[in-house]
Structure 1
């Protein structure tokens, strides 16, 4: 009996699961390896960090998602390398997982532009653990400010700085402003949470760089109406315990959140292949690794250009398209076809929320802003959630926030003394 082709997929994010979906019915045995037991809907991760949604509403167990696929084995483990000669994935516990075809969809982590020491004071947002920790920082800051007698220290507790004005930074800033100005004022007695300062610090000249100028300008004005203070052209030069320095300003802020950059996983180092300055692997036009035809890489792990020469963005739709392409490439190889046309990214549009009632949407042929874009943003995100239960839960939470200004997920899940950024 002929041995079935073994496909190993490292990473159960959007890209990895797109490969899994594309291989359904193929004569292959698939092993999915991830260091966490859940798939995460990252576009809504900031809503967990700002107490709008619970973790269970945007994350689902991988085993449960794949339970009807008898061709799939799920492994909860940390990958530390790849034995290219022996065609095996190396795990932290010493085990080896052999492969005939390997797909690396290992994502990215926070990138601090050579200042990794800043991470201790300015956490980023990539995992559920990050989101719940940041939620604890934010909520504990208000609790400590309620008891603080010194005006300067109290203001530092009520100052929140977000570094980076991309979609994540803009969405965080707007939602924290909503939380402080609409949700919390009636809950505290000694402080007026409407005195909260929300700073959005961006080294570039605009917010939401890459969006059309009119939408970027609209987003800037909308954030200003929410009370967000925006500093453009102000690169961060120092982040320390309880303070941030940007441009010519030093501001005391007990909560600082990093949304300015990412760095790819260590996949390029595992293989010993070329990578760009952000650690993203340089791959062939068919997403295979140069010199290693049996290995594919996709998503935030790689650097690849769109048909117009621009870089393919590190967003969920791009990873899903790449995953579908890789699955098709594997099927073609197994069927004996020699080659495949290069991967071509098709941009399906960009969306960003600004507070709880406004957003912007850019689909090229149509551009929306304000409430219509917000409704479209909500419908799009609900549609891509995995389960009906998750969709219902998110809709109910959003309606409650929209109509009552209340957020049900305001839980500090660690002791307050550990949750503050001090």
Structure 2
């Protein structure tokens, strides 16, 4: 039975937005219109600033600095309703969003901004041994494993087991993998040595594995080379050109080489949410819905798919990258399109992506920034990276909190969030 509040009346238009990531949030923030009701549906109650999630995983920031309750973000918007729920299907004919629990939601316009999860390229059995990094739960799991590895090594009576505990393998050398490897190496080399008595944390091995020929493949070769050199200076062993062929709780196999490691982190690939299956729509190899130039689903002008779960092409046929600035641009574009429709004006014909650059940090005082003609590296790039991320954080309090955490860490060499909490969701600890 459908709740009456979910049935559009004759004088209102009901927009349902599934997903409160960068794309969905940008859309709702940019769209107000008389008579328009907006319902946000998300399976979590918070918006997550994913570019800094690795800093939660590596003890620099607490979870509260990178996530904000969705309801609180829209507490002054009477036109916005937030629902905590999991979508299990879409009925396009009846225009209903079906939830795992509760009555279905009727919509006039539907926007799916449901993001992506990590892809293990057909080896989903690896997830338990090598968690990815897409949620707060993932971040606290990785933080727990990294910190517990040092704690267990401190009391281990076996030199072989101690070596395995002090070996950390990061798979995938995109920005997330590079950032994780760099911070784990700094943790071992500069932050923890004085805190342990039996082990020397500086003997830890951090291995970054990339199947392709170089790290940061989306960056120019000169910046990629700088990043690899900076990682090497931090003590990271970079292995390129060979793929991982197996992962277990005991370690990884790279080609035919077995590496004993008790902490393995996956940063090698992503796959889209089940949105394509819900819609019966055409999808690309990563499961992303192939959308039209205006980001709508072909044959369904009332349904839009944006962000990481959409396959969006530029006018020249090249894919729009799956990064936060692109998702936010798509959200704002759809907001403008819907405003034009509701006003009876011609909507824009196509989405045009404006590339705003690539950024990646390597440890505590080095980064690379690519703006095409302008490229930065080193400490200057690191400060630019930090300022850019603080600028894009939501809310003044969050900006101040993150800035203070970074300044404290930079000035003292100490990280503020080295707490072992919660159970390991991937190993089902209790």
- Change in 2 beyond 3 A, CA 1:415/1:81: closer
Helix, strand or coil at the partner of 1:32? strand
Deviation at 1:26, TM superposition (A): 4.6
Match of 2:131 among 83, 99, 123: 123
Question: Separation in 2 of the partners of 1:416 and 1:129?
Answer: 9
Deviation at 1:293, TM superposition (A): 1.1
Match of 1:352 among 360, 377, 386: 360
Deviation at 1:374, TM superposition (A): 0.3
Question: Separation in 2 of the partners of 1:261 and 1:234?
Answer: 15
Aligned match of 1:340: 348
Match of 1:315 among 306, 309, 323: 323
Where do 1:147-186 residues align within 5 Å? 147-186=155-194
TM-score of the aligned structures, taking structure 2 as reference length: 0.95
Consecutive aligned runs of 4 or more in structure 1 exceeding 6 Å deviation: 415-421
Matched, 1:40 2:45: no
Helix, strand or coil at the partner of 1:120? coil
Give the aligned CA root-mean-square deviation in angstroms. 1.6
Aligned match of 1:76: 84
Residues 50-83 of structure 1 show CA distances to partners (whole Å, capped at 9, x for unaligned) of: 0000000010000000001110010011111111
Matched, 1:105 2:113: yes
Question: Separation in 2 of the partners of 1:21 and 1:307?
Answer: 27
Aligned match of 1:385: 393
Matched, 1:9 2:17: yes
Contact 1:222 1:354 in 2 (8 A): yes
Contact 2:173 2:215 in 1 (8 A): yes
Match of 1:368 among 355, 368, 376: 376
Helix, strand or coil at the partner of 1:75? strand
Contact 1:356 1:402 in 2 (8 A): yes
Question: Separation in 2 of the partners of 1:381 and 1:196?
Answer: 30
Question: Separation in 2 of the partners of 1:7 and 1:236?
Answer: 44
Question: Separation in 2 of the partners of 1:374 and 1:416?
Answer: 32
Helix, strand or coil at the partner of 1:69? coil
Aligned match of 1:54: 62
Residues 143-178 of structure 1 show CA distances to partners (whole Å, capped at 9, x for unaligned) of: 000000111100000000000000000000000001
- Change in 2 beyond 3 A, CA 1:158/1:97: same
Question: Separation in 2 of the partners of 1:269 and 1:301?
Answer: 11
Match of 1:188 among 185, 196, 213: 196
Helix, strand or coil at the partner of 1:146? helix
Helix, strand or coil at the partner of 1:309? coil
Contact 1:26 1:331 in 2 (8 A): no
Deviation at 1:276, TM superposition (A): 0.8
Deviation at 1:397, TM superposition (A): 1.1
Matched, 1:232 2:240: yes
Question: Separation in 2 of the partners of 1:418 and 1:336?
Answer: 50
Aligned match of 1:90: 98
Match of 1:278 among 263, 286, 292: 286
Matched, 1:262 2:270: yes
Deviation at 1:420, TM superposition (A): 11
Gaps of 5+ in 2: 1-8
Gaps of 5+ in 1: none
Residues 37-57 of structure 1 show CA distances to partners (whole Å, capped at 9, x for unaligned) of: 000000000000000000000
Deviation at 1:338, TM superposition (A): 4.6
Contact 1:265 1:279 in 2 (8 A): yes
Residues 155-206 of structure 1 show CA distances to partners (whole Å, capped at 9, x for unaligned) of: 0000000000000000000000011101000000000000010000000001
Question: Separation in 2 of the partners of 1:411 and 1:318?
Answer: 34
Aligned match of 1:408: 416
Contact 1:136 1:420 in 2 (8 A): no
Question: Separation in 1 of the partners of 2:131 and 2:213?
Answer: 24
Question: More displaced, 225-234 or 389-398?
Answer: 389-398
Contact 1:125 1:258 in 2 (8 A): yes
Contact 1:137 1:419 in 2 (8 A): no
Match of 2:150 among 139, 142, 150: 142
- Change in 2 beyond 3 A, CA 1:394/1:75: same
Helix, strand or coil at the partner of 1:85? coil
